[in-house]
Structure 1
Amino acid sequence: MSAAACQQALDAVFRADPAVQAVLGNPVRLVEAPVKLAAYPFAFWRRWETKPVDASVVQSDEHIATLEVVCRQPGAEIARQAVAALATCAAAAKPNPLGARIVLILPLYSDVMRSADGRSWLGIVRLKIIADRI
């Protein structure tokens, strides 16, 4: 499964989730890249790694995806809520786009920290996704 197809499937799951909407707005502010004029808080895909993990019968791809959340509200609470909503939503998701079957979505890591400029809070969610090619 391509990284683009996997990302689109997860984007659709996040955009439809009420807990994610409660923190990142409705429509969900999940943007392609950080922009200065975006409404806060918002999330974007920071990094996406893909490698084949073929077994003897099934051909699969392992994706390691990193979502970043940017918040300008004072305190880290909104960033923590956004990170928790994204991780919980991903762990419960069962998207199966055409041509692939996602067999695992596992939140590997999450963190919230102040940005280098001190004006915003950043949240990180790293996901491991295994998708069989069918």
Structure 2
Amino acid sequence: MSADGMIWSSEAALQGAFLEALRSDNDVQSLLGNPARIFDDETDAPAFPYVVLEGHEWEDRGTSLAAGQSHTLTLAIRSRDGGRAAIKNIIGALRAGCEQMTLSLTGQRVVLIQPLYGDAMRTPDMREFRGLLRISVITEEAA
């Protein structure tokens, strides 16, 4: 149990470490501020541009030798300036951050971090641009 009384699961530990690694990436900070505006619903009215963890799916993917999980994290990017190019630049920085990321997790070993899908579009209200980036993370129980 953590100091604040919450039980931390391996999924929550991975998610926290993943977001913190992206927030501390210099290229991400150059586009999203320092500290980088990457949220898991911590704020109701963030400054633009910003990123929100929109989803975190996971499945057990163990083998006969080790327990493991497959995670898919979905990041949503929002911007009001710079059009699709701004969104693509942010997606590029996030993708590069993921590809260079090293995560240290208690009891888990990260086997793979791989961006899977990215997209940039205008929102229906025509006031913002929205991007999506999906990332796959494979973990296994540390030996």
What TM-score results when the alignment is normalised by the length of structure 2? Answer: 0.88
**1:21 partnered with 2:17:** no
SS in 1 for 2:83: coil
Tell me what 2:20 maps to: 12
2: CA distance between counterparts of 1:34 and 1:15? Answer: 14
The equivalent position to 1:31 in structure 2, one of 39, 46, 52, is: 39
Contact 1:34-1:44 at 8 Å conserved across structures: no
What TM-score results when the alignment is normalised by the length of structure 1? Answer: 0.93
Quick check: which has more Rg, 1 or 2? 2
For each residue in 1:27-53, what CA deviation from the matched residue of structure 2 results, as whole angstroms up to 9, or x when unmatched?
100112386621000001111111000
* Higher RCO structure (Cα 8 Å, ≥6 apart): 1
Query: What is the aligned-residue RMSD (CA, Å)?
Result: 1.5
How many residues align structurally? 134
Deviation at 1:94, TM superposition (A): 1.3
For each residue in 1:37-96, what CA deviation from the matched residue of structure 2 results, as whole angstroms up to 9, or x when unmatched?
210000011111110001010110000110010001142221111111111111111112
Paired-residue identity, % = 31
The equivalent position to 1:117 in structure 2, one of 105, 118, 125, is: 125
Which portions of structure 1, spanning 4 or more consecutive aligned residues, are displaced by more than 4 angstroms? none
Unpaired segments of 5 or more residues in structure 1?
none
The equivalent position to 2:71 in structure 1, one of 40, 48, 63, is: 63
